Amino acid sequence: MDNDRSHDNLKEQDYLKDMPNHEFDEAVNTMQSSIQDEIAASTDLLGDKLDISMLKNEYSADDVQYQKKIQNLEKRYSHVRKTRGDGNCFFRAFGFGYLEHMLSDKKDYPIFQENASNSFQKLMDLKYPSFTVEDFFENFISVVNSVKEGVSHTELLNTFREEGMSNYFVVYLRLITSCQLQSDSDFYQNFIDGGKTLVEFCKTEVEPMYLESDHIHIIALTSALGACVRVAYMDRGGDDLSFHDFPEDSQPTLHLLYRPGHYDVLYPR
Amino acid sequence: MATSAAVLLLRKQLAELQKHPVDGFSAGLVDEVNIFKWEILIIGPADSLYDGGYFKAHMTFPEDYPQRPPKLKFISDIWHPNVGKDGMVCISILHEPGDDKYGYEKAAERWLPVHTVETIMVSVISLLCDPNDESPANVDAAKEFREDKKKFKRHVAKCVRKSQEEL
């Protein structure tokens, strides 16, 4: 079976090798989007709130390392809400999770709203095209304002489940992140390896949709919006979970679960 | 499902371009009922071999535009290293983001949701002035461009004349 598959892969590579460049790109894109279509068909952009114990079923019972980590997770958290693994999961989890939190606790809202409102001018100062950015901003700020205007939990959830609205929100969070990185480039430049300039990094790793987020994205987005986030890391390293707060020494209001390549929303007990 | 956002943004852009036209091209719809397929008329830039030509192209937007790029295809015959013989324009700004497979395209020039029809067309027009023969979509045109400029110019001039006749 495995042999068959690797044989197929070889044939596929041969087939790609002989293509002119643009057809090769086309073929790769088609393959990628068919993988993405598969993911889209099998998971919601944003799932329902699930009991945290459900996570146990995702790993085999004799996976001692993960089962132990999940037990520890259960002590702190009661529920998890999954996001679609389309590369936008951090932004979507952050966007929905933070607004959801502010529906019930308005304490963090004023500072979030102020930073959100000011972000458009900051992008204009960096000479972003107003035409498109305005479109993303208007959508974004109307969702942010809806929290103050008493939007219901179901309506907020529906907004983040509707592909157009949800992705527009993600596009704008990516722009805020990029803007923050560029505004404080002396600081962030130190985190970028691979010989890219900060602007190149933003254009290739931050602003395009469907690309995964790293520490640097989280640092930039949380500091741009004045948000406090705790990430619980569950991976193959170490015997126990590790936690990281953004910014450090803050009181986190939103909790996210990280598993390699993916973020979901966590609900503390 | 993502369509409504795309429709609004495309309508807004079309209205803006028709109210405040941009030098070098004009834009309309192929069919009034379909906002996802535009007809673009590109005016051959004055300082290029394409001067005097009027080239028709269709720009087709995906349903999840602007998260993904449109495609641009010349309907008029055009002889250019970066336009395939089928008319497809091969330019980095219309490529999905991702690893650079060939190492000579600046990744920073790839598709981003903030791009507009105008920013795309600015890149396409500059490509007419300055072909990139390192990543050709039309290998014969690229070879001619590199090795036999005279023949290349004749080929282009023929397309320019044909485009004028078809106008």
Phi-psi region of B115 (alpha: psi -120 to 50; beta: other; left: phi over 0): beta
Above 80 in pLDDT, residue B9? Answer: yes
Centre a 10 Å sphere on the Cβ of residue A41 and count the other Cβ atoms it contains: 7
What secondary structure letter does DSSP report for B75? S
Chain A interface includes B123 (CB < 8 A): no
Which tens digit of pLDDT belongs to each residue from A146-183? 999 999 999 999 999 998 899 999 999 999 999 999 99
Residue B39: band (very low, low, confident or very high) from pLDDT cuts 50, 70, 90: very high
Q: Which residues of B touch A24 (CB under 8 A)?
A: 101
Residue A13: band (very low, low, confident or very high) from pLDDT cuts 50, 70, 90: very low
Sheet holding A242-246, edge to edge: A46-51, A77-83, A262-268, A254-259, A229-233, A242-246
Q: Which residues of B touch A163 (CB under 8 A)?
A: 1-2, 64
Q: What is the pLDDT of residue A27?
A: 67
Above 70 in pLDDT, residue A23? Answer: no
Q: What is the pLDDT of residue B102?
A: 45
Sign of the CA dihedral A38, A208, B110, A129? positive
Following DSSP, what letter does each residue of A75-119 receive, concatenated? HHEEEEEEE--SS-HHHHHHHHHHHHHHHH-GGGHHHHHHHHHHH
Architecture of the B3-166 domain:
Roll (3.10)
Q: What is the pLDDT of residue A29?
A: 64
Above 50 in pLDDT, residue B128? Answer: yes
- On the question of a cis peptide bond just before residue A247, with omega within 30 degrees of 0, the verdict is yes
Taking the C-alpha atoms of residue B119 and residue B124, their distance in angstroms, rounded to an integer, is: 9
Chain B interface includes A28 (CB < 8 A): yes
Chain A interface includes B73 (CB < 8 A): no
Q: Map out the domains of chain B as residue ranges.
A: 3-166
Above 80 in pLDDT, residue A36? Answer: no
Q: Which tokens is B75 given?
A: 């309907």
Chain B interface includes A131 (CB < 8 A): yes
Residue A142 to chain B, least CA–CA distance (Å): 14
Q: Tokens 């996570």 map to which residue?
A: A55
Residue B41 to chain A, least CA–CA distance (Å): 22
Partnered with residue B39 across adjacent β-strands are B28, B58
Structural domains present in chain A: 49-268 (1.20.1300.20)
Q: What is the pLDDT of residue A242?
A: 94
Task: Report ipTM for this prediction.
Answer: 0.79
Q: Tokens 């996001």 map to which residue?
A: A83
Above 90 in pLDDT, residue A204? Answer: no
Give strand ranges (E) for chain B: 25-29, 37-43, 54-60, 71-74
Q: What is the pLDDT of residue A193?
A: 80
Centre a 10 Å sphere on the Cβ of residue A4 and count the other Cβ atoms it contains: 8
Above 70 in pLDDT, residue B67? Answer: yes
- Across chain A, mean pLDDT equals 88
Residue A240 to chain B, least CA–CA distance (Å): 34
Q: Which residues of A touch B118 (CB under 8 A)?
A: 131
